[in-house]
Every structure is written in C-alpha cells, then in structure tokens.
Amino acid sequence: MTKEIALSKEFMKGVWDQNPVLKQALGLCPTLAVTVSAVNGIAMALATTFVLVFSSLIISLIRNLIPNQVRIASFIVIIATFVTIVDLVMKAQFPELSKSLGPYIPLIVVNCLILGRQEAFSSKNTPFRSLIDSLGMGTGFLIVLFVLGGIREILSARTLLGFQVLPDMYEPWLVMILPAGAFITLGFMLGFSNFYAMHKKEKTHKEIIDTYLSSKSQRLATHRAEVLAQEKAALEAKMKAKEKSDDKPTDNDNQQ
Amino acid sequence: MTDLKQIINTKLELASSPHVHTKLSTERAMQMVILALLPCVLSAVIYFGIYQLLIFLVSIGISMGTEYGIKRIRKQANTLSDGSAFLTGLLLALILPPNFSLVFTGLGAFVSIAIGKEIFGGIGYNIFNPALVGRAFLQAAFPVQMTTWTKTSFNVDAVTSATPLGGFKFDGIAADLGSMFLGNTGGSLGETSALAILIGGIFLIALGIVNWRIPVSMIIGILVFGSLIWMINPEAYMNPLYHLVGGGFLFGAFFMASDWVSSPITAKGMWIFGLGISLIIVIIRVFGGIPEGVMYAILFMNAWVPLINRYTQPTIFGAKK
C-alpha cells in the first residue's frame, strides 16, 4: 500500500469509524452470546484481541511467503494456534471464566472479525501497521462488548462488574440474560451509532455548504465592488467628456 | 365573468380510482374497536376489582406518551389523534394478569409502542402486533409476576389460583365450562369472559371492521385440531371446547389476530393465517411446556404474513396462470 495514513488514524478507525461490531457487523456471534455480564464481555474481547494482534503480526510478517491460493487455510492455521494458547491459558488460570464462556473461546478460530482483518489488512500491510490496526480493532471490540455486557448486567442483575449499582427495589429483567435481551440491546446500540453518524454527516454537509456560500458571497461582494467601481469610473469619464463638450459649444457653431 | 372565476378558483381534486368515499376512517375504526372492548373492560373490573382501572390508565397513558415523545424526537407529524396508541395501551392492559405491577405495566406499554410499533415506522408499518410485543417482553422479563393469577372476586377463599389451562396441564383439574364462558376464572384481565369478548367481536364483525374470515378460521381450526388430539385419548387431552373458551383464544381471535396491519390482506391468506395460528396454539397447549400459546402463535404467524400475502395474490382478470 502506497497510501500513507497517520498511525493515530489507523488506530482510531477501529475504535469508531470502522468499529468491527457497530459499523462492520463482524463477530456478532460471540458479541451476542457471551455478553450476559460486563466481565464476560471484557474477557471475550481481550481473548479475541490477543488472537487478533498476534495472528495479524505473524501473517503480515510472512505475507509474501503465503501462496495466494491457500491463504485462507494458512490464516486459519495461524489463528487456531493462538486460539489454542488462549484456551489453554484461560483453562489453567481462570477456570471459572473459561467455564462461563464455554465453547465461545475455541470458536474464536472462526470469528469473522479476525479472518476479515487478515484478508483485508494484514496480508497487504507492513507488520507495524498491522499491529496498530489490530490493536484499534481490538479496542473497538472491547468497548462494544463492555457496554453491551454492562447494560445487560445492570438490567438483569442490578450489578456492574459485580458491584451493585441499582437499588433493591428495582426488579431485575430476566429477558436481558436471554438471547432476546442481547438482540434488543445490540439493536439499540446499532441504532444510536447510526443515528449519531447520520447527525454528524448532516452537520459536516451543512458546514461544507456554509463555507461554500460564505466564500461565494465574498467573491460576489468583491465582484460587485469591482463592477461598481468600473461603472463609477466610466460615468466620471463620461461627465468629464460632457463638461469638455459643454465648454466649447461656440467653437462647434463656428465650425458649422 | 364571475362564473368563469368560480370555475377557475374551484379546487380540482385529482386522485386515482376508485373514487368511492367511505365514512370509515382510521380514527373511526379505532373508536369502534375501543367501544367494542368496553364489555371486556367491564368484565375485568367486575371480576378483579376496581384496582384494574389503574392498570388501564397507566398502560394507555404511557402508550400515548411514548408515541408523542418518539414522534417529537423524530420530528414527524403527531399521530396521537388517530387513537391507535390509545388502542394499543388498552389491548396491552387487557392481556395483563390482574393486580399487575403498575411499573411493569408502564414498561410494557413503552416497549409496545417503541419496539413494537415506532421502530418499524409507526402506524401501518409494524410487522408484529404491538400489544403482543409488549406482553411477550414482559413475559420474558418478569415470568413469575406474569403468571401470578389473582382469583376473581367471587372466589374469596384464596388469593391466587391457576388458570383453567394451567390447572389442566399441571394438576389435571378440569374447570367448569360455564364459569369459563362467563369469565369467573383465573386469567388475564380481558380474556376470561368469553361472553364479553363475543359481544365486542360480533359488533366489530357486523360493522365490517374485523374481517370475519380470521376469527372464523381460527375457531374452526381450533375445534378441528383440538378434536383430532382429543379423539386420540379423551382422558389425557382437553375437550376442544376448553381450547375454545380457555385462555386468551377468543380475545386473540377477535382483537389480536385480526389487527389490520399485521394480518394478511387476501381472503385465502386470512384462512391460512387463522388455521396456522390455531394449529400452533394446539401444538403449544398440548405438547409445549407452557399452558398457553395464543400470544406466541399470533406473533409467529405475524412474521409469515408478507409471505402469505405474496403467495395468495389473486390472479389478474384475464391473465393466464
């Protein structure tokens, strides 16, 4: 890629502009399935980010060695290696978390977010850029999963990360633990992100139109001033000519 | 000269055919449905006490408030005056259990209008029946409160009781058909009294606001499918008449399934729709883990309506098949 983008932009695009869940709608299966609590969401996002970062790095290092015809298979083998690492580490260090996430850790292998980044970015860019890109995507994924898991945890158990945030008189909504709650919450999040994006777009459109109009009105004003000045000069010249002709009417008569 | 001026100034209305005018507008239809629901409201108050009026008030108030708020935020024309939000609130209240929490009622009304109706674009665009969406949400969110059935005020010896369907399914007790017809049983506010529902329903069919095909096909369907199951083993399974007057079946048939927006538009489609609902109700009631399935059956068939409409399109006159 010859087109150079600032590194900070490369990172931020994963957080907002091309957010994997809200904008690209990738990796929805773990997003919907595991976010019954904020902790589960964070754990899932960190595991995914780990796999994403390291597989991006490796793949972009050997991107010129992978034959084009077998690239998907090669990507999957590399991704699966890191997923196995994550799975075994979580089983050894956080057995409870591993149990509550269930089959969704091994399923990171087929998370379309990870494969999508390899195909779209790492296999075409330098290792450093791939690292920044995958970190940004991981951060975006983490934010969405934390917010989704947080909302569902607050509404279904009155707690956030295990601390009680709503009073006891609040009756927990069972629906938020169920898949229906995940779909409703994610739907609202997508809706609000689209609403915000639309609002922003309208604002920038309005700004562009405003700047265009103000510059045009300036140009028109200068043009008008010029035209007026020209006309004034022309009129003055005419008046002078008339004065001259008025000065010597007798001469004309004599000549005739 | 003045004649010419008059002709020129007369507003010419250009519209495509048909040019037939009817007095039946959306507002009028909504008013008639609300009128037809009054017997059900009355039976709810008679059987479950004056407190139920508060549920009606909260449900209707929050429904209309939500509709107003969302239209305001989205900068669209206010549609409160067509009465559809009022009707949704009333319908939701009628399918809630007696003495239900007012906070949950308000939440249900909000979900009905916001998720059931306005997200799809407002009146005329909703795929699912809004009141049933609200009830399905409440059922999933608060399963215990939603299945706590207060005894009717004529049974003062106990606080709660099972519904006839629940009692039959879990305890094998068959309720008295006569009291089920009058409404003197446990159940949701408006759906216990078959008599009140029939008065309102027949009134709507006579006015032509509810198409007779949907209720009739549902009733035929439940009698046929119920009888088929019953004939296999009359001891273990319910009498088809229980299927007919029990639970929310009649209320669903006359007021929920026949909703203009979320039901098919072709005659053949209406028959398919009604029979499909009845089949699913019988399957849920007989083989499912829950005693009642009218809500899920109607919501499920709502999802099929676009497909039903598409495949039951009448052929144009003169066109080859």
**Statement: residue B314 has pLDDT above 90:** no
CA distances from A140 to A71, A220, B225, B246 (A): 26, 47, 53, 51
B140/A184 touch (CB, cutoff 8 Å), yes or no: no
CB B197 within 8 A of CB B247: no
pLDDT for the residue numbered A229: 93
Note whether residue B311 is domain-resident.
no
% residues pLDDT > 70 (chain B) = 90
Number of domains in chain B: 1
A175/B104 touch (CB, cutoff 8 Å), yes or no: no
Secondary-structure percent of chain A, ordered helix, strand, coil, rounded to 5: 80, 0, 20
Q: In this structure, what is the dihedral angle of CA atoms A50, A53, A55, A61, given to the nearest 10 degrees? A: -150
**Statement: residue B268 has pLDDT above 70:** yes
Angle at B257 between CA B256 and CA B259, to 5 degrees: 70
Backbone angles phi, psi at B236, to 5 degrees: -85, -30
CB B81 within 8 A of CB B30: no
Neighbours of A166 (CB within 10 A): 14
CA of B223, closest CA in chain A: separation in Å?
A: 33
CA distances from B170 to A86, B165, B181, B289 (A): 47, 9, 21, 10
Q: Which residue reads 């919501």 in tokens?
A: B299
- Give the amino acid at B112: S
Furthest CA-CA distance within chain A: 124
Note whether residue B9 is domain-resident.
no
The C-alpha atoms of residue A218 and residue A245 are separated, in whole angstroms, by 40
pLDDT for the residue numbered B78: 83
Note whether residue B11 is domain-resident.
no
pLDDT greater at residue B169 or residue A100: A100
| Sequence-distant (≥ 6) Cβ neighbours of residue B52 within 8 angstroms | B44, B45, B93, B98, B99, B189
B110 confidence band (pLDDT: 50, 70, 90)? very high
For B49-74, what is each residue's pLDDT tens digit? 888 899 999 999 999 999 999 998 88
Backbone angles phi, psi at B150, to 5 degrees: -75, 145
Chain A residue with Cα closest to B73: A195
Query: Across-strand partners of A160?
Result: A163
Lowest mean pLDDT among A4-8, A170-174, B11-15, B24-28: B11-15
Lowest mean pLDDT among A32-36, A116-120, B173-177: B173-177
The most confident of the ranges A162-171, B235-244, B269-278 is B269-278
pLDDT for the residue numbered B5: 65
The C-alpha atoms of residue A170 and residue B261 are separated, in whole angstroms, by 35
Short-list B121, B101, B117, B106, CA closest to B65: B106
The C-alpha atoms of residue B295 and residue B225 are separated, in whole angstroms, by 18
Mean per-residue pLDDT for A142-157? 91
3-state secondary structure of A70: helix
Phi-psi region of B78 (alpha: psi -120 to 50; beta: other; left: phi over 0): beta
Query: Angle formed by the axes of helices A38-61 and A71-93, to 10°?
Result: 140
Which of A171, A185, A192, A198 is the best substitution to test chain B (most B C-beta atoms within 10 A)? A171
- Give the amino acid at A98: S
Structure token pair of residue B65: 């408030």
Q: Is the peptide bond before A106 cis (omega within 30 degrees of 0)?
A: no
CB B250 within 8 A of CB B198: yes
Q: What is the ipTM of this complex?
A: 0.77
B10 confidence band (pLDDT: 50, 70, 90)? low
* Domain residue limits at B89: 26-305
Which residues of B are less than 8 Å from A184 in CB distance?
Answer: 115
Backbone angles phi, psi at A160, to 5 degrees: -130, 120
- Give the amino acid at A87: D
Query: Angle formed by the axes of helices B130-141 and B294-311, to 10°?
Result: 140
Q: Give the burial string for A168-199 (b: 16+ CB within 10 Å, else e).
A: eeebbbbbbbbeebbebbbeebeeebeeeeee
- DSSP H or E stretch at residue A164: strand A163-164
CA of B104, closest CA in chain A: separation in Å?
A: 9
pLDDT for the residue numbered B274: 92
Chain B residue with Cα closest to A183: B115
What is the residue-averaged pLDDT of chain B? 84
Of B101, B103, B142, the CB nearest to A174: B142
The C-alpha atoms of residue B305 and residue B269 are separated, in whole angstroms, by 8
- Give the domain CATH number at B83: 1.10.3430
A174/B137 touch (CB, cutoff 8 Å), yes or no: no
Backbone angles phi, psi at B160, to 5 degrees: -125, 160
A173/B143 touch (CB, cutoff 8 Å), yes or no: no
CA of B141, closest CA in chain A: separation in Å?
A: 4
Note whether residue B216 is domain-resident.
yes
Note whether residue B121 is domain-resident.
yes
Which of A166, A175, A199 is the best substitution to test chain B (most B C-beta atoms within 10 A)? A175
Which residues of B are less than 8 Å from A174 in CB distance?
Answer: 140-143
Note whether residue B13 is domain-resident.
no
For A101-116, what is each residue's pLDDT tens digit? 888 888 888 888 899 8
Which residues of A are less than 8 Å from B137 in CB distance?
Answer: 175, 180
Mean per-residue pLDDT for A126-148? 91
Note whether residue B21 is domain-resident.
no
How many A-B residue pairs are in contact by the CB < 8 A criterion? 21
Query: Across-strand partners of A159?
Result: A164
CA of B244, closest CA in chain A: separation in Å?
A: 30
Chain A residue with Cα closest to B138: A175
A1 confidence band (pLDDT: 50, 70, 90)? very low
